[in-house]
Amino acid sequence: MNSIVGLRYEDKYEMERRVAIVPHHVKKLVGKGIEFHVQTSAKRAFTDDSFEDAGAKVVSSLENASVIFGVKEMPLTFFEENKTYVFFSHVVKGQPYNMPMLRSMMEKKCQLIDYEKIENEENKRLIFFGRFAGLAGMINSLWSLGQRFKLQGIDTPFAHIRQAYTYPSLKQAREAVSKAGYEIAHNGLPESISPIVIGFTGYGNVSKGAQEIAHLLPSIEVTPQQLLDLDFNNAPKNLIYKVVFKESDLSRPIDRTAVFDLQHYYGHPEFYENQFEKYVPKLSVLVNCIFWNNHYPRLVTKDFLEKLYSEGEPKLQVIGDISCDPDGSIECTHKGTEIENPVFVYDPFTRKPTYGFGGKGILVMAVDILPSELPLESSIAFSEALLPYVEQIVKADYTKPFAELALPQPIKKALILHQGEFTPNYAYMKAFI
């Protein structure tokens, strides 16, 4: 049995304040005979003292821990021989920037368990931060909208909403959005920007989190087709329009005689093309919440944005790119932004970004660690989902062959490396190394 569990200090981002296992869950596990070493951190959402009170030992090094839990990627020099590491590794697509990290783990014969691949029999993720990415992303998108209008000399209730991380709790952030919603319901919005239309791509956990915040505003949901037919001149000024776009709204078969088939789309995206662009001119805010890889059509291309701005100042003010795939579904998202520098304006003619709220073009919010803007609540929810598996992850005998490992099936599915070798589900990744 592995005797000591390590909780790692997060150092990939300055503002990363999450933790994989929170103190009151550490206390439960200590009660089951598991010893915890917690790497000291002055910025973590939970203090060193709170972990000590839970029965953990606060340390500067995790050299004595054999199973180590983290959140984000770990540096090459951190890994040690034969140890087990559990974190979001971002390697399963062969991401080039993380292949050196993966090679280091292989050379040291490590185990790698990736939270992203902990799935049930239906391949649905069981442990995730997605809802909190949506919550923080929507708060930030509304804040961005208010600041953008403010620079244009337009006063709106959105101007009183702040960036998500500045609120001590999610409850206080929700209260701020609700207050803005109350003002909109009673006083309306300026005619020059009405109606405000918020479009959500996707309907999973991220989108549900974002919509949860949007529902604090006085809103009415319309279908994509109703959006195209909407008469903006007669729309009420004290309501927000909300639209949720599914895959069949985003893409269509290249063969116009074919009908959209979701499973065929998932398996053969090369037979589909973008049809989302017809909706974009009707949106004030686009909140992007989809899973995407480069086999799928892009949602918003640089060419489209140039064409849109060539036709005059568009209605679209803000793209909240919660999915945050660099050069991906939102092509002008050239990279993820940091919490302390969260937005840029993309000029569709020069095709260059300028950080901040000012400038000609479209404002993009693309923070790639959004759940860390709500570190207390997101860590608690994540830890709650992870808790049922921790004891078995810790007590597993990783010297045994893969087939004999006593791990819950969802964890075994997420075991990418065992003794430094790819497990059967990840043999395809040899091509990336």
Q: Which of 373, 398, 415 is the last residue of a domain?
A: 373
Q: What is the CATH number of the domain that holds 96?
A: 3.40.50.720
Task: Examine the domain organization and report whether 100 and 157 are in the same domain.
Answer: no
Full residue range of the structural domain in which residue 98 is found: 4-128+375-432
Q: What is the mean pLDDT of residues 207-223?
A: 97
**pLDDT tens across 377-418, in order?**
999 999 999 999 999 999 999 999 999 999 999 999 999 999
Residue closest to 196 by CA, chosen among 93, 298, 283, 271 = 283
Residues 404, 406, 408, 413, Cα dihedral to 10°? -40
- Please report the pLDDT score of residue 81 as a whole number: 97
Q: Rounded distance, CA 242 to CA 361, Å? A: 23
Task: Examine the domain organization and report whether 192 and 124 are in the same domain.
Answer: no
Task: Examine the domain organization and report whether 141 and 105 are in the same domain.
Answer: no
**pLDDT tens across 301-350, in order?**
999 999 999 999 999 999 999 999 999 999 999 999 999 999 999 999 99
Q: Which amino acid would we find at residue 164?
A: A
**pLDDT tens across 245-298, in order?**
999 999 999 999 999 999 999 999 999 999 999 999 999 999 999 988 889 999
Task: Examine the domain organization and report whether 266 and 207 are in the same domain.
Answer: yes
Task: Examine the domain organization and report whether 111 and 182 are in the same domain.
Answer: no
Residue with tokens 């069949």: 248
Q: What is the mean pLDDT of the chain?
A: 96
Buried b (16+ CB within 10 A) or exposed e, 43-54: ebbbebebbeeb
- Please report the pLDDT score of residue 78 as a whole number: 96
Q: Which of 373, 391, 415 is the last residue of a domain?
A: 373
pLDDT bin (cut points 50, 70, 90) of residue 2 is: low
Residue closest to 330 by CA, chosen among 360, 355, 295, 304 = 304
Task: Examine the domain organization and report whether 385 and 330 are in the same domain.
Answer: no
Q: What is the mean pLDDT of residues 114-130?
A: 93
Task: Examine the domain organization and report whether 314 and 380 are in the same domain.
Answer: no
Other beta carbons within 10 angstroms of residue 69's beta carbon come to: 24
pLDDT bin (cut points 50, 70, 90) of residue 187 is: very high
3-state percent breakdown (helix, strand, coil) of the chain, nearest 5: 40, 20, 40
Q: Rounded distance, CA 103 to CA 362, Å? A: 39
Q: Are strands 285-288 and 343-347 parallel, antiparallel or unpaired?
A: unpaired
Q: Rounded distance, CA 396 to CA 407, Å? A: 7
Task: Examine the domain organization and report whether 266 and 355 are in the same domain.
Answer: yes
CA–chain centroid gap for 93, Å, is 16
Q: Are strands 67-69 and 84-87 parallel, antiparallel or unpaired?
A: parallel
Task: Examine the domain organization and report whether 266 and 246 are in the same domain.
Answer: yes
User: Alpha helices, DSSP H only, in 245-350?
Assistant: 247-250, 262-267, 302-310
Task: Examine the domain organization and report whether 427 and 295 are in the same domain.
Answer: no
- Please report the pLDDT score of residue 433 as a whole number: 87
The pLDDT > 70 percentage for the chain reads 100
Task: Examine the domain organization and report whether 359 and 379 are in the same domain.
Answer: no
Q: What is the mean pLDDT of residues 185-207?
A: 96
Residue 165: pLDDT over 70 = yes
Residue 154: pLDDT over 90 = yes
Q: Rounded distance, CA 385 to CA 21, Å? A: 10
Q: Which of 339, 358, 373 is the last residue of a domain?
A: 373
Strands (DSSP E) contained in 170-245 are: 196-201, 219-221, 240-245
- CB < 8 Å & 24+ apart, contacts of 155-164: 155/190, 156/189, 156/190, 156/193, 157/181, 157/183, 157/184, 157/187, 157/189, 163/139, 163/339, 163/342, 163/373, 164/135, 164/136, 164/139, 164/140, 164/370, 164/373, 164/374
Q: How far is CA 48 from CA 34, 53, 57, 92, 386, in A?
A: 18, 9, 9, 33, 21
Contact partners, residue 230, CB within 8 Å, separation at least 6? 195, 197, 222, 241, 282
How many independent structural domains does the chain possess? 2
Q: Rounded distance, CA 294 to CA 121, Å? A: 26
**pLDDT tens across 56-94, in order?**
999 999 999 999 999 999 999 999 999 999 999 999 989
Cis, peptide link before residue 424, omega less than 30° from 0: no
Task: Examine the domain organization and report whether 308 and 231 are in the same domain.
Answer: yes
Rg (CA), the chain: 23
